[in-house]
Amino acid sequence: METMKAVVKVKPELGAEMQDLPIPKPARADWVVVKVRATSICGTDVHIYKWDPWSESRIGRKALPQVLGHEVAGEVVEVGVHCTRLKVGDYISAETHIYDDGDLTTMLGSPHVGTHMRIVGVDYDGCFAEYFTLPEKVCWPNDPAIPPEVASIQEPLGNAAYAVLGEDADVAGKTMVITGDGPISLFAVGVARAVGVAKIIHFGKYDLNMEIARKMGCDLQMNTNETTGKERLEFVLDHTGGNGVDIALEMVGSQNSVDDCFAMVRKAGRITAFGIAAESPLPVDYNNGIVFKGCQIHGINGRKIFDTWYRNRNLLAGGRLDPTPVITNVFTLADFKAGFDKMIERPRKSAKVVLFPDEKECQAALKRLGK
């Protein structure tokens, strides 16, 4: 039997192990097998790596051992007998929300939040491996102009695009607050710039990440560690003609950040809720923040399949959007522990970390990224 290297969550405690596993076959007749060229570490992987209370309740120790990872760029090496669209050699990335065709939300155009939706690397073995298997229907053909380290980060970039664009993509010429230092906040700054948001105000607290936000194109910035909520509100009002911003993207999940967004959004504006609170319920100013403002609240869990993929592919391939400043570190898959250490380190000194099963692909990416 042919084997491969894979990063496996073995025990319900901090860490993971590199193991030799059999190379998978298509799990079902309409699934494919992909040879992984690049795979990136997501916040979700960090939760599972640490085995925090979310992992214990969402995945559960009974599911272990399980291969980590869901963000990917790779090449199709085998197709199941009922696959119709892909062929061996296709260069793909993957929508990681494996939607269920029978869910009501799927039929109504929001498959990403279906009741029976399952997630790669959470409900199935993931892609921190040389090969993995997934349904053909969630594979997304990449433009060959997009290098693997960028193709891999399209999944979180899709969250950012969905957060920025909302349901109606009515953002051109508008003002926007984006909170947070995480990769998706930084990607959101770049997407907002690329799609014509007129004024992007970023709130962060880590120097490196704030610098990346400036590279991605924010217009104004405040350090949340060095300012009060009142100062931030005054700053935003000063720069929006006293009205507040049209759109506020909450991407931290902290009380301060939520309070900022509800205070700063203008009347009849939009708040996008993406950050995950450490503890929920989390109080909001229901009367003044929502009801009397007549504002919309938009929750983001996943991407708009495949609308955000399509738009991002065009933006990336055309060079209108360059997300590479957010890719701060690349390692070989064998060096996955170094990658997780970078992601866990506080104060933060990294944004996005990409792993390569093949040493040569890793070297080529380092060169392309100028590192």
Residues that bind Zn ion (CB under 5 A): 42, 71, 155-156
What are the C-alpha distances in Å from 15 to residues 18, 49, 140?
10, 5, 30
Q: Which is nearer to Zn ion, 114 or 156 (CB)?
A: 156
What are phi and psi for residue 269, nearest 5 degrees?
-85, -170
Q: Which is nearer to Zn ion, 262 or 356 (CB)?
A: 356
Q: Which is nearer to Zn ion, 71 or 260 (CB)?
A: 71
Minimal distance, residue 267 CB to Zn ion, in Å: 34
Catalytic choice (47, 105, 240, 298): 47
| Active site (annotated) includes residue 272 | no
| Active site (annotated) includes residue 112 | no
Minimal distance, residue 153 CB to Zn ion, in Å: 9
CA distance 259 to 254: 9
Minimal distance, residue 186 CB to Zn ion, in Å: 14
For residue 32, give the nearest of 134, 140, 131 by alpha carbon.
Answer: 134
Q: Which is nearer to Zn ion, 8 or 48 (CB)?
A: 48
Catalytic choice (39, 44, 308, 332): 44
Catalytic residues: 44, 47
